[in-house]
Amino acid sequence: MQPAYEYRDGSLFCEKVALSEIASKVGTPCYVYSAASILEKFRTYREAFGDTPHRICYAVKANFNLSVLALLARAGAGFDIVSGGELYRVLRAGGDPASVVFSGVGKTAEEIDYALEAGIHSFNCESEAELALVDALAARRGQTARVAVRVNPDVDPATHPYIATGLKEHKFGIDMSEAEGVYERAAALAHIRLEGLSCHIGSQLLDTDPLVEAVDRMLELALRLRARGVALAHIDFGGGLGIPYRPGERAPDVRAFIALLREKVTGTGLEVIIEPGRSIVGEAGVLLTRVLYRKRTGRKEFVIVDASMSDLIRPALYQSHHEIIPVRRLPSLGTVVADVVGPVCETGDFLARDREIANVMPGDLLAVCSAGAYGFVLASNYNARPRPAEVLVEGERWRVVRDRESYEDLIRGEV
């Protein structure tokens, strides 16, 4: 069971709140997040760094709810953003712009300008053209922008191909072999200060070996750059540590990984930046859904629920596994092997396939586990479905931190 969730007298709780209570007051589908779980994960990273100069820039893309961002901002997190919209969210949530790094392969001039105006920590630039644009826009403002170049370490992260980013054929970063030339040419740009080196090789890594390989390659490159006179001040290793989605799956040990990082950077004087997303919020969340119907077609059994790929697209998009458990556990229920599917008109609309789950009936509640990362943020209005509510639990208190969308919301801005 994910931390902060447990059964009490057969009823599933998040911290001290019964999920059935939230479902009855807020309705379903509904995302629920545990504040304690998010903060605990963040603290684990922070404490593991000890006195090594570091910045933990939470990857906003994993879960961008304002209250989640505010929670992390108050705990001292920095933020990794990939769009002007994410920067807006961070600022509205009270995040410190001076602790924001801006990643992404296709930043627009407007987004770069907005980030310059806000005074972010640095840009992770992914091409020479982007370096030139940041320089030109900073010049227009009479500023000097801090930048890191994102390189592609060409390491296979052994994860789903859609979330692997650090191989030569991927669109991200610049080729490592070209890095020295890029830094040399960019030194001529008067309005950028080349002070960082960054990478991100992929997400949901259950084995840290590829990350460690990337770290080694990055540190070798950092030394070569310094030898050529580049005044590197920070090194950003991206995010990527995975979480357990399946029973028995083991996530990497954050403390051990950070301890290794610290050992490797000792003596370099480099500030370490990391951009964890999933490993901070993933296990903090569940998606609550209610069973609408049961039906059998041919040889297949279906549990039809009110959540769909429009609420949680990970199973359809990445064939990812989320455990699905009953909110009310009755041993007498027994189990059934079924597809758990939603109302969307796509065969790809499933939350689980051929899964042994509790033999739930219409009206029963289910919790789709470990849905705190890349859940709501990827939700859509497909089939004109209002996006679900989001709830944050803190001890015995809970509150709606995003209202369920209404039909009116669905047509806002349309004529």
Nearer to ligand PLP, 321 or 355 (CB): 321
* 62 touches ligand PLP (CB under 6 A): yes
Least distance in Å: CB of 345 to ligand PLP?
Answer: 29
Q: Residues 363-382 vs ligand PLP: string with x where CB under 6 A?
A: ----------x---------
Select the residue interacting with ligand PLP from 153, 276, 326, 388 (CB under 6 A): 276
DSSP three-state, residue 300? strand
* 200 touches ligand PLP (CB under 6 A): yes
Is 345 a residue of the active site?
yes
Q: Estimate to the nearest angstrom the gap between the alpha carbon of 33 and the chain centroid.
A: 14
Alpha-carbon Rg of the chain, whole angstroms? 22
List Cβ neighbours of 162 (8 Å cut-off, separation of 6 or more). 317, 318
Least distance in Å: CB of 103 to ligand PLP?
Answer: 4
Least distance in Å: CB of 239 to ligand PLP?
Answer: 3
The closest alpha carbon to 352, from 364, 363, 367, 365, belongs to 367
Q: Active-site residue among 30, 125, 199, 345?
A: 345
> Total number of residues binding ligand PLP (CB under 6 A)?
17
Nearer to ligand PLP, 168 or 397 (CB): 168
Q: Please report, for residues 385, 403, 409, the alpha-carbon distance to residue 414 in angstroms, rounded to integers and kept in the order given.
A: 16, 21, 10
Among positions 66-125, residues that touch ligand PLP (CB under 6 A) are: 80, 103
Conformation bin of residue 328: beta by default, left when phi > 0, alpha when psi is -120 to 50: beta
Least distance in Å: CB of 25 to ligand PLP?
Answer: 30
Rounded to whole angstroms, how far apart are CA atoms 16 and 35?
12
Burial 186-204 (b: 16+ CB within 10 A, else e): beebebbebebbbbbbbbb
* 275 touches ligand PLP (CB under 6 A): yes
* 196 touches ligand PLP (CB under 6 A): no
Select the residue interacting with ligand PLP from 278, 290, 321, 387 (CB under 6 A): 278
Give the DSSP per-residue string, 306-355. Answer: S--TTT--HHHHH-----EEESB--GGG-EEEEEEE-SSS-TT-EEEEEE
36 burial (CB, 10 Å; 0-12 / 13-18 / 19+) is middle
Any bridge partners for residue 365, and if so which? 290
Identify which range of 68-76, 232-240, 305-313, 355-363 contacts ligand PLP by CB under 6 A. 232-240
259 burial (CB, 10 Å; 0-12 / 13-18 / 19+) is middle
Rounded to whole angstroms, how far apart are CA atoms 344 and 104?
31
Select the residue interacting with ligand PLP from 84, 173, 252, 277 (CB under 6 A): 277
Least distance in Å: CB of 284 to ligand PLP?
Answer: 13
Select the residue interacting with ligand PLP from 37, 122, 203, 289 (CB under 6 A): 203
Nearer to ligand PLP, 196 or 276 (CB): 276
Q: Which residues are catalytic?
A: 345
Contacts with ligand PLP, residue ranges (CB under 6 A)? 59, 61-62, 80, 103, 200, 203-204, 238-240, 275-279, 373
